[in-house]
Amino acid sequence: MKIAVLAWGSLIWEPRGLKTSSEFAPTGPVLPIEFSRVSGGRRLTLVIDDNTSAACQTYVATSKFDKLDEALQNLWIREGTGDEQLPQQIRASTRVAFVDIGAKAANKHALRHNPKAVEAICSWAIASSFDAVIWTGLVSDFLAKTGKTFSVAAAIEHIAGLAEAELATALHYVRKAPPEVQTPVRAAVTARWPQG
């Protein structure tokens, strides 16, 4: 089984234990990506978000694994925070997502939150001769974490309210995103906090 790993953020510049047989290249599907998840240090991180207007070129690498569960486990561990126990049902995880073209199957969490993106990923996988595609399955949690509906203005207000050290980390993450990942939030951050 030939398995693609999609990336648009830190997986590209910090793969850590992720095992791939090729480097990440900007040849993945165009997907709705935005800085709409509140992560560690309260910084905003990139996730697939069907509710955004951004259409970004994603990156792809080929997994070293040829079994879907093993590839998912490898990505799940990379996206973790330490010595966590692998879930018994890796395909049901909300941390990682997948499509399996031959089995006509996909992660239910991804289908529920980002059905348009899943459809685009399936079409791209078929055209690119991949049997399966995996990606980080985390979704926007902006409303749950901030109490506000996500918007560019709300994102900038959130970032502006960070303490100095948190702000520096948040801006670094936005600036380090690949050049293909141009989103409304990134444009607003660049306008508000130009690099000098």
CB count within 10 Å of CB 79 equals: 17
Confidence check: pLDDT of 140 > 60: yes
Instruction: Quickly state the pLDDT bin for 196 (edges 50, 70, 90).
Output: low
Question: Model pTM?
Answer: 0.95
**Under 8 Å CB-to-CB from 133, ≥6 apart: which residues?**
3, 4, 5, 6, 98, 99, 121, 122, 124, 125
15-39 mean pLDDT: 96
Q: How many domains does the chain have?
A: 1
Give the integer Cα–Cα distance in Å for 6 and 105: 17
Using a pLDDT cut of 90, give the percent of the chain over it.
92
pLDDT of residue 84: 85
Find the domain containing 70 and state its range.
Answer: 3-192
Mean pLDDT in residue range 19-45:
96
Name which of 116, 113, 118, 111 is nearest 132 in CA terms.
Answer: 118
List the structure tokens of 98.
């997948």
Nearest to 92 by CA among 75, 104, 115, 110: 110
Q: In the predicted model, what is the mean pLDDT of residues 79-108?
A: 92
Hey, how many other C-beta atoms are within 10 angstroms of the C-beta on 100? 19
Segment 130-140 mean pLDDT: 97
Q: What is the pLDDT of residues 153-186, one digit of tens each?
A: 999 999 999 999 999 999 999 999 999 999 999 9
The pLDDT value recorded for residue 175 is 96
How confident is the model over 88-95, as a mean pLDDT?
Answer: 93
Q: What pLDDT does 81 receive?
A: 77
